[in-house]
C-alpha cells in the first residue's frame, strides 16, 4: 500500500514512467540524449527520496541498480544519485525474476534459466538407477510438472 501511494504521486507529478510490484519499484525514462535522460532520472530519484523522507521511510541506494538500454557502445551516462549516494550502472539487472541486459537480447536470461533447469534435471537423474529409484513414469512427471514449466 505504501508503494502504491508513491506510484500515484509519481504519475501525478509526471516525473518518470514508474511501475511497481510489492516492494519493487522500477523507474524508466526514454529519450534520444543520454545526459537529458540521466537528468530526468535524477529528478525522479530526488522525488522518491523526498517522498520517502516525508513518510518516514528510506530507500537503500546500495540495493538500487541502474541500467542504460541502448544499441550504442560508446554511451557513458551521467551518474545517478539517491540520498547522496551514487547508484552504480550494471550490465545486467534482475527485475521481477527476469534478467535484463543492456541490449535487451534475452540471452543472459535464457542462459541462466536453462542452466538452472539443467541442474535440476541432473539432480533428478542422479536419483534413478537401473535397479533402484524412481520409475520412468515418475521421472517424466517430474520433468513435465517441474522442469519444463520453469524453462518455458
CA angle 33, 19, 152 (to 5 degrees): 100
The residues near 37 (Cβ < 8 Å, ≥ 6 apart) are 29, 30, 31, 77
User: Whole-angstrom Cα distance, residue 65 to residue 107?
Assistant: 20
φ and ψ at residue 27, rounded to 5 degrees? -115, 140
**pLDDT tens digits, 6-21:** 888 888 877 788 888 8
Q: For the chain, count helices (H), then strands (E).
A: 5, 6
Mean pLDDT on 101-116 = 89
pLDDT band at 1 (very low <50, low <70, confident <90, very high): low
Read off the pLDDT band of 115 (50, 70, 90). very high
Name the residue among 77, 75, 4, 7 with its Cα closest to residue 35. 77
| Domain boundary assignment for the chain | 2-103, 108-151
What pTM does this model have?
0.73
Which range (29-33, 96-100, 126-130, 148-152) has the least confidence? Answer: 126-130
**Percentage of the chain exceeding pLDDT 90:** 5
For the stretch 38-91, pLDDT in tens is 999 998 899 888 888 888 888 888 888 899 888 877 777 888 999 888 998 888
| Alpha-carbon distances, residue 150 vs 15, 46, 70, 106, 116 (angstroms) | 36, 38, 29, 16, 9
Amino acid at each position: 500500500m505504501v508503494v502504491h501511494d508513491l506510484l500515484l504521486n509519481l504519475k501525478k507529478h509526471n516525473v518518470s514512467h514508474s511501475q511497481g510490484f510489492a516492494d519493487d519499484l522500477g523507474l524508466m525514462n526514454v529519450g534520444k540524449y543520454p545526459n537529458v535522460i540521466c537528468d530526468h532520472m535524477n529528478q525522479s530519484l530526488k522525488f522518491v527520496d523526498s517522498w520517502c523522507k516525508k513518510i518516514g521511510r528510506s530507500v537503500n541506494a546500495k540495493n538500487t541498480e541502474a541500467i542504460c538500454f541502448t544499441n550504442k557502445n560508446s554511451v557513458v551516462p551521467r551518474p545517478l544519485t539517491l540520498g547522496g549516494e551514487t547508484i552504480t550502472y550494471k550490465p545486467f539487472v534482475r527485475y521481477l525474476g527476469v534478467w535484463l541486459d543492456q541490449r535487451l537480447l534475452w540471452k543472459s536470461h535464457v542462459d541462466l534459466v536453462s542452466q538452472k533447469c539443467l541442474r535440476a534435471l541432473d539432480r533428478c537423474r542422479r536419483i534413478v538407477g537401473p535397479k533402484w529409484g524412481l520409475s520412468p513414469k515418475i521421472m517424466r512427471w517430474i520433468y513435465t510438472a517441474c522442469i519444463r514449466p520453469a524453462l518455458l
